[in-house]
Structures are given as structure tokens and as C-alpha cells.
Amino acid sequence: MKPETSDFLAGLPRQPRLLVVDDQAIQIQVLYRALAPDCQVLMATSGEAALRLCHERLPDLVLLDVEMPGMDGFAVLQQLKADPVTRELPVIFVTGHTSDDVESRCLEAGGVDYISKPINPRVVRSRVKTHLMLKFQSDLLRDMVFVDPLTNSYNRRYFDQRLAMEWSRARRSGAPLSLLMIDVDHFKAYNDHYGHPAGDQALREVVRALTRHLQRPGDTVARYGGEEFACLLPETDHNAALMLADRLELCVRELALPHAFSGAAQVVTVSVGVGTATPPLEDGEQSLVQDADAALYRAKHGGRGRALG
Ligand code: GH3
Ligand code: MG
Ligand code: MG
Ligand code: MG
Ligand code: MG
């Protein structure tokens, strides 16, 4: 049967990426025919391969066979839910069993929906479309809640949650946790002289430079407030954090954004305060913010345009 491609993508912000998981290649083919070319379709024939693809490619939606040799669909979903990276992935179960019992097990396990085989391509397309709309809406909401619209970096709300999470993770793992507080120097004078729109643009460029120079996937830059940014560095000791702080200070300086009132440099610079918490972490996570703030204060008073621990 020829898929109806006409209006599938209407209302979706981009082409969706689906993962179809089934131990029988013929079943994958049927679903593939129903959903491509509207969707980018990834395929896996085992639970293990599905988990790997979920991690590497973060699909928008997973169509997951229940009965598979080895790891079955329920076990796959359980593992997806146990991992913060994949916890929110919507999963539609696909199964040959049509009993009420299997249906309720699928939904109780956390599946967002349930499709029975043999599949009806039109029904599959409609259900997939509905769940993609929901997925994109919840992505949008999450961005609105956690992303700063000016700089496109994470916002303070995200930072506070992430800090609490990394704090308890460090407590469990025993690894040090570092924090950089980064404040743009003489930024009031920049705005006064060049205007607020230029100030906004400078903030965007500073964030882009900082983000580019962070290497590890766990490192996060967030806008802490105004012209101040916080950079959280899991599993990073004080020396490594100081080295990174120096590199970040330099990368902002090398943007060479003219700033007539920045002192000797004549370009936009930042001051960086470095704090490190080493387990056992007996105080609360705000002690790390206080340490980084105190170091930032010393960097400002030591002449700005520098990083201090
Ligand atoms: P210092 O070197 O001591 O940090 O001096 P400063 O002038 O940077 O510090 P101050 O706290 O006096 O001023 C911060 C300035 O940052 C004032 C404020 O207008 C500006 N600012 C904060 N948020 C934004 C923003 O979103 N856009 C623009 N254009 N400016 C902002
Ligand atoms: Mg099967
Ligand atoms: Mg400042
Ligand atoms: Mg100030
Ligand atoms: Mg400030």
C-alpha cells in the first residue's frame, strides 16, 4: 500500500527521527514503508542495538517490538527509563499479542501507546504523528523553561538543578567538582558607550566562545544572571579547572571585541573565579558557588581580565 505522504509533516518543526525495533526484518520493512520518507527511520533488530542507537542518535520516538529473543521490549524500556539521557524518549510498543493483559502491561511499563500486529499503515501513521506532535511540544516547553533566549545557553533554573544533581553525584562517586564564575569586565561602560543591542551581541559572542572551548560533554555553561556565566565541570580537580579558566579567559580576549573603556586591553575581557569541591562534601552545594564567587571577587580586585582560584 502506498503511504499518504501529503500532510504528515504539517505542524512538525522538522523531519522527525524514528527508531524501529523488531527482531524480524520483515516487520521493520512494513513499518519503514509506512513511515519513510516522511521520517528518518533508524532500525535495530535487538534490544541491545536499540539501546545503543537511542544513546547515539537520540530519536524523537521509538517503535518497540515486545517479543524479542534475549532482551525483550519491556527490558529495553526499563533501561531507557533508568538513564537520564533517554528517560524522556517516548516509546510505542508494537506486539502480536492482542490480549488486554499485554496492552495494560505495555502502558503500565511507561509506553505512550500500543500498536498491534499485523499493522495497519494508516493507523500507525496517525498514532506516530500524534506522539511526534506531543514530543515536539514538550521539547519546546523544556527549551522555554531551561534555555536563556538571549544567549541560547542554559539558564539559571537549569543551572541550579544541574548543580544539585552534580553535587550528589560527586558525593557518591568521590570525584571533585569544579565551578567557574565568569563575569564580563566593565560591561556597564560597554552598554553605555556602544548601546544595549551591541551589548546583547557581545554577550552572545562570549557565550559562543566559551561553549566552543569546553571539551567534555558533561561540562555546562549557563547564564547565571546579567553578564555573569557559570561553568560547571564534573570530575575536574582544581588545577585542571584553573587551566581551563585561563583558556576561557584567553578565548574571550581573542574575540577582540573592541571596548574603549576596558582598561589597557581595549577589548572585551572576563574575570573568572574558580572553586573546587572535593568529597566528602559536608556542606551544601551553595558553598561551591560562594568559593567561586570569592575567587571572582579577587580576580576583579586583582585587575580584571584574569582567572584566579
Ligand atoms: P565589573 O567589571 O566590576 O563586572 O563591572 P561591570 O560594569 O561589568 O559590572 P556592573 O555590575 O556594574 O554592570 C553590569 C552590566 O551588565 C550592567 C547591565 O546593564 C549589563 N547587562 C546585564 N545583562 C545584560 C543584558 O542582557 N544585555 C546587555 N546589553 N547588558 C546587560
Ligand atoms: Mg518479535
Ligand atoms: Mg561585569
Ligand atoms: Mg560590578
Ligand atoms: Mg556582574
Ligand 1 atom nearest the C-alpha of 189 is 7
Distance 165 CA to ligand 1 centre (A): 29
99-108, 139-148, 281-290: least confidently modelled range: 99-108
pLDDT of residue 6: 59
User: 249 an active-site residue?
Assistant: no
Q: Which of 129, 281, 122, 269 is nearest to 190 (CA)?
A: 269
CA dist., res. 19 & res. 120, Å (int): 18
Ligand 1 atom nearest the C-alpha of 199 is 29
pLDDT of residue 84: 81
Ligand number with the minimum distance to the CA of 46: 2
123 contacts 35 by C-beta, under 8 angstroms: no
Please give the ipTM for the structure prediction: 0.96
Question: Which member of 166, 227, 249, 285 is catalytic?
Answer: 227
SS3 content of the chain, % helix, strand, coil (to 5): 45, 20, 35
Distance 240 CA to ligand 5 centre (A): 24
CA dist., res. 181 & res. 183, Å (int): 7
Q: pLDDT for 190-225, tens place per residue?
A: 999 999 999 999 999 999 999 999 978 889 999 999
pTM: 0.79
